[in-house]
Amino acid sequence: MILNVSMLNALLLIFAIPISLLFEGMRRKLMARIQNRIGPPIWQPFYDVLKLWEKGESDSKANENVFFRITPILYLVTTFALFFFVPYPIIGFNVDFILFIYVLILSGGLYILSGFASNSPYGSIGSMRETILMVCYEIIFAIVIITFVLYTNIESLLFFNQTFLLLKLPLASLSLFIVALIEMRITPFDTVEAQTEIIGSVETEYSGRSLALLELSKILKFTFFIFLINMLFFGFKDILIFFGISLVMLFLFTFLQATTCRYRLDQTFKLLIFVLLLAVIELIRINYLVW
């Protein structure tokens, strides 16, 4: 089932939020089944977001901070903007992948700002942890995207049409996979949102519509990275195959989250240094070496 690319662009943009909420519901259900629980219904994320949207904001001193009020909105906007590039780019121009990298970094920066703006020690700790990790994993992400672009010899993501780059760029693929786990807050890399340590982390002081926007942004980013890995690793244009692989990856990420333990912050950072080395080696290899 191969649809016109422009039609796919429109469909995925229109249904990005419902698809993401559905994926989140499936993730929760799979998590429960793996842990021998019944779990919530698949539609639960829809109910959660709607219920939060109908609730009022809590009476907090942080409400006086303008950044506290606007960062959830901006975080959602920048996260949703990522779907203009992945998996079927709706805009394309020379070196558009640089803008793509900037948008992702901006999204992460707004998440950090939302924690500092909350005037909560738990939110600040979560933001500081994210800042420490972001310094490393965003560099890795940029190197990996540049590696994929150079290897495929394209100047725009719009013309990306390679398949099975997972086998051709193994080190870059592994690096992207680990960065995705960190960005999606999946164990063993959910250090930023360690609820047993810092309660709600960045979201501790948020409630009502602001919390709904933050939760929705996280769910969108989870789906975005599934689509991104699917696009770069496999590259299938057939929408049925694409979503089939996406569901397999959803199961893989859920299985990891259900069966692994959290790394400490220092362990995660040391691993990122090693992953950064792998990404640099891959970039050098495609430019100067032939395997």
Q: Please report the pLDDT score of residue 63 as a whole number.
A: 66
Q: What is the pLDDT, as a whole number, of residue 193?
A: 75
The token pair at 98 is 């640089």
Cα distance between residue 272 and residue 191, in whole Å: 13
List, in order, residues 6 or more apart from 85 with CB less than 8 Å away. Answer: 91, 96, 97, 99, 100, 103, 157
Residues of the chain with pLDDT under 70: 1-8, 58-64, 194-200, 290-291
Give me the amino acid identity at 185: R
Reference 45, options 264, 218, 284; nearest CA is 218
Q: What is the pLDDT of residues 13-45, one digit of tens each?
A: 888 999 999 999 999 999 999 988 888 899 999
Query: What's at 207, amino acid-wise?
Result: S
CA distances to 145, 205, 276, 283 from 288, rounded to whole Å, are 18, 50, 18, 9
Q: Where are the domains of the chain?
A: 5-288
pLDDT of residue 17: 92
pLDDT value of residue 173:
94
Cβ(227)–Cβ(221) below 8 Å: no
